[in-house]
Structure 1
Amino acid sequence: MAIKLFIKEHLSYIIFQIVLTLFLLSLFWLDGFRNINTAIYAIAISTLLIFSFLVVRYMLRRRYLAKISVLPITMEDALQKNAKTTEYAVTEQYLHELYRLYQHEVQALYATQSRQYKFMNQWVHQMKTPVSVLELLLQQDEELDKRSVQEEVERLKRGLEMVLMHARLENFADDMQIMKVPLKSVIMNTINENKRLFITNRVFPEVNIDEDIVVMSDEKWLRFLIEQFITNAVKYTFEPNKKIYITVVQKESQVQLCIRDEGIGIPKADLSRITKAFYTGENGRKTGESTGMGLYIAKEICDKLGHQLVITSETGQGTQVEVIFQS
C-alpha cells in the first residue's frame, strides 16, 4: 500500500521528468547533435538519477505512508511520529494540535453534559418538595390554605425559571440584547414580583436609587440576576423584621449596584467557592433547598455581559453583593 501511494503521489513528477528529457533530446537533435550513443548515455544517466532520487525519497516517507495507508484502530495509532521530512513532520504536528483541540472540545462538551445532568437531577429532586406539599394540602379535609398553595407555586415558578435560564445559558449570544436599561425600574419591578416572598419571610427591602441611572445590559438577564440575589438575601435571613438594602452608586466610569442583607452571612471557607457549580456550602445544607447553581449561573451571566460580580460577607452580619457596570 505504501509503494502504491508513493507512486500515485509522484506519478505527475515522473511524467514531467520523461517529457523534460525527451524535450531536451529533441532540442539537441534539431540543433545538429545527433550522436545516438550520447543520447542513450544521457537518458541512462537521467533515469538513474531520477530513480535514485525517488528511492531515497521513498525511504524517507515509507513509515509515514505506511501509517496513513491503513485506517487507525486507536487514536494512538494515528498520533505516532514517523515522519522524517519537514513537510510530513509539519503535517504530523498539525494533526497532533488538531487532536488536542478536539480533546479540549470533547472534554468541554462532556463537562457541560455532566453539569446539566447533575443539575437536572438536583433540580427535579428539589421540585419534589413543593409538589409533595401541594399533594398534602389537597388531601386535607379542611378548607384549602391558599397562602400555602401560593408559596409552593412561587417555589415551583422560581425553580422553572432557574432551569430555563440554565438551558439558555448555553446559547447566550443568541439570546442577548444589550441596550440602555433603567436600573431603578428593573429593581422595583423585581421587588414587586417577589413581594409575597418578602411578606412571608417578614423581610423588607429598602431601595435608594436615582431615577435617571441607566446601565448598558440585557434587561431579561439583569432581571434574573437581581431576582437571584434578592431571593438569596431573603432565604438566608432567618430572623424577622430584617431589611435588604439596595443602593446604586454612580462614579465616573462605573455604576455599582449593591444588594446587602442582614442575614446569617457566608463562612470564609465557603466564600471563594460559592460561584462554582453545585457548591452549596454550609448555608445550603442548612436550608436543604440549594442546588448550588444560582450563584454559578449569576457569575456566568455577569461574565458574558461584561459586568463584574463582587461578593463579600461576614458570618452573622450579612452578605453584600455588588454588580459593577462599566459605563
Structure 2
Amino acid sequence: MGLRLFIKEHISFILFELCVVLFILSLYWLDGFRNINTALYSIIISVMLLFSFLAMRYFVRRNYLNKITQLPNVMEDALQKNAKTVEYIQTEQYLHELYHVYQMEVQALYANQIRQEKFLNQWIHQMKTPISVLELLLQNDEQLDKKSVQEEVDRLKRGLDMVLVNARIEKFEEDMQVEQVQLGELVKATINDNKRLFITKHVFPVIRVEEEIIVASDSKWLKFALGQFITNAVKYTFEENKKIVISAEKNNDTVQLHIKDEGIGIPKSDLSRITKPFFTGENGRKTGESTGMGLYLANEICEKLGIKLTIESEVGKGTTVTLTF
C-alpha cells in the first residue's frame, strides 16, 4: 500500500523527468548529433539515476507511508512519529496538533454532558419534594390549604425556570438582546415575582434604586440572575423581620447594584467556591434544597453580559452581592 501511494504521488514527477530527457535529446538531434548509442546510453543513465533517487526517497518515507495507508486500531498508532522528511514531519506535527484540538473539544463536550446529567438528576430529586407535599395536601380530607399549594407551585416554577436556563445558556448569544434597561423597574418586577417567598419568610425588601438609572443589558437574562441573588438572600435569612436592601449608585461610567441581606452569611472557606457548579456548601446542606447551580448560572450570565460580580459575606451578619455594569 505504501509503495502504491508513493508511485501515485510521484508519477507526474517521473513523466516530467522523462519529458526533460527526451527534450534534450531532440535538441541534440536537431543540432546534427546522430549517434544512437550515445542517445540510448544517456536515456538509460538518466532512468537509472531517476529510479535510484526515487528508491532512496521511498526508503526514507516508507514507514510514514505505511502508517498513513493503514487504519489505526488505537489513537497511539496514529500518534507515532515515523516521518523523516521536512514536509512529512510538518504534516505529522499538524496532525498531532489537530488531534490535541479534537481532544480538547471532546473533553469539553463530555464535561458538559456530565454536568447536564448531574444537574438533571439533582433537579429531579429536588422536584420530588414539592410534588410529595402536593400529594399529601390532596390526600388530606380537610379543606385544601391554598397558601401551601401556592408555595409548592412556586418552588416548581423556580425549578423549571432554572432547568430551562441551564438548557439555553449554551446558546446564550443566539438568545441575547441588549437594550436600555431601567434598573429600578427590573428590581421591582423581580421582587414582585418572589413576593410570596418574602411573605412566607417574613423578610422585607427595601429598594433604593433611582428611576433614572439605566443600564445596557438583556432584561430577561439579567432578571433571572437578580432572581437568584434575591431568592438566595431570602432563603438564607432564617430570622423573621429582617431586611433585604437593594440599592444602586452611579459612578462616572459604571453603575453598581448592591443586594444586601441580614442572613446567616457564608463561611470564608465556601466564599471562593459558591459560583462553582454543584457546590452547595455548608449553608446548602442546612436547607437541603440547593442544587448548587443557581449561583453558577447567575455567575455565567453575568460574565456573558459583561457584568462584574462581587460577593462579600460575614458569618452571622449577612451577605452583599454587587453587580458592576
Band the TM-score falls in, shorter-chain normalisation: over 0.9
Aligned to 2:211: 211
d(CA) in 2 for partners of 1:179, 1:56:
68
TM-score (norm 1): 0.98
Deviation digits for residues 55-75 of structure 1 (CA, Å, limit 9, x no counterpart): 111011100001011111111
Aligned to 2:5: 5
Q: Give, as a single letter, the amino acid of the residue that structure 1 aligns with 2:37.
A: N
Aligned to 1:286: 286
Unaligned runs of 5+ in 2: none
Unaligned runs of 5+ in 1: none
| Matching of residues 1-327 of structure 1 within 5 Å | 1-325=1-325
d(CA) in 2 for partners of 1:3, 1:226:
67
Q: Give, as a single letter, the amino acid of the residue that structure 2 aligns with 1:40.
A: L
Deviation for aligned residue 1:24 = 1.3
Q: Give, as a single letter, the amino acid of the residue that structure 2 aligns with 1:225.
A: A
Deviation for aligned residue 1:31 = 1.6
Q: Give, as a single letter, the amino acid of the residue that structure 2 aligns with 1:27.
A: L
d(CA) in 1 for partners of 2:250, 2:27:
87
SS in 2 for 1:222: helix
d(CA) in 2 for partners of 1:175, 1:41:
77
More deviation in 3-12 or 235-244?
3-12
d(CA) in 1 for partners of 2:180, 2:310:
22
Deviation for aligned residue 1:180 = 1.2
d(CA) in 1 for partners of 2:264, 2:252:
34
Q: Give, as a single letter, the amino acid of the residue that structure 2 aligns with 1:269.
A: S
Q: Give, as a single letter, the amino acid of the residue that structure 2 aligns with 1:290.
A: S
Deviation digits for residues 260-293 of structure 1 (CA, Å, limit 9, x no counterpart): 0000000000000000000000000000000000
TM-score (norm 2): 0.99
SS in 2 for 1:171: helix
Q: Give, as a single letter, the amino acid of the residue that structure 1 aligns with 2:153.
A: V
Deviation digits for residues 119-164 of structure 1 (CA, Å, limit 9, x no counterpart): 0000000000000000000001110000000000000000000000
Deviation for aligned residue 1:301 = 0.8
d(CA) in 1 for partners of 2:318, 2:198:
17
d(CA) in 2 for partners of 1:178, 1:193:
22
d(CA) in 1 for partners of 2:253, 2:22:
78
RMSD, aligned CA: 0.8
More deviation in 21-30 or 37-46?
37-46
d(CA) in 1 for partners of 2:305, 2:96:
35
Deviation for aligned residue 1:37 = 2.6
Aligned length: 325
d(CA) in 2 for partners of 1:28, 1:261:
100
Structure 1 consecutive aligned stretches of length 4 or more whose deviation exceeds 3 Å:
none
SS in 2 for 1:21: helix
Deviation for aligned residue 1:41 = 2.4
d(CA) in 1 for partners of 2:217, 2:41:
82
Q: Give, as a single letter, the amino acid of the residue that structure 2 aligns with 1:255.
A: V
